Amino acid sequence: MDVADGELRLLPMTRDHFPLFVTWVDRPHVAQWWEHPRGPDQVEREYGPCVDGSDPTLVFVAELSGTPVGFVQVYRLADNPEYEQAVGVPHAAGIDLLIGEPELCGHGLGVRLIALAAEVAWESYPDVTGATAGPSVHNFRSVRAFEKARFVAVRQVTVPGEADDELVLVCPRPTGR
């Protein structure tokens, strides 16, 4: 699969994607960094409301040349006030993602997914002034992908309930958006 030139798109996640998501988060390269949700019941509790629209978090499955390869979620930090306070970035959108297929890691797919997720943030939340990400301070691959996508590290924070400190990375909203 051509990571650099293949068509990459985000499709709204449906419950039909939940089994694939469970498979992805159980793979060692994801499980190391993605604590929860785990298993079908937890995935339903976490993402069922997003799919139904009762939770404002936007959830997507990333497809590369028609093949599902990853997951992206985009949310307004203000909808998660405890997290917004912990990371200290007001008026921003948050981006989380994973690449579910290990052979696709390290080839630039993460940078492309981050750019697509940022576009979703700008289009969905016209009031946000930037986008944030909070990978583990030890997840060097993720940190580097966000830096390549023009995010800048601003601080390390301890988020209640998270196993590891996060490195807060921020990308200001492009002018004219």
pLDDT of residue 159: 87
Q: Which tokens hold the place of 8?
A: 């990459």
- Report the chain (177 residues): mean pLDDT per 10 consecutive residues: 77 96 93 81 92 95 94 95 91 95 90 95 95 94 94 92 90 83
Domain boundaries, the chain: 8-127
pTM of the predicted model, to two decimals?
0.92
pLDDT of residue 175: 81
Decide if 64 contacts 96 (C-beta within 8 A).
no
With a CB cutoff of 8 Å and minimum separation 6, the contacts of 113 are: 8, 62, 70, 72, 97, 99
Q: Which fold has domain 8-127?
A: Aminopeptidase (3.40.630)
Q: Alpha-carbon distance 176 to 52, whole Å? A: 32
pLDDT of residue 2: 61
With a CB cutoff of 8 Å and minimum separation 6, the contacts of 93 are: 74, 75, 76, 77, 121, 124, 125, 128, 130, 131, 132
Beta strands in the chain (DSSP E): 8-12, 58-64, 67-76, 92-99, 130-133, 152-157, 166-172
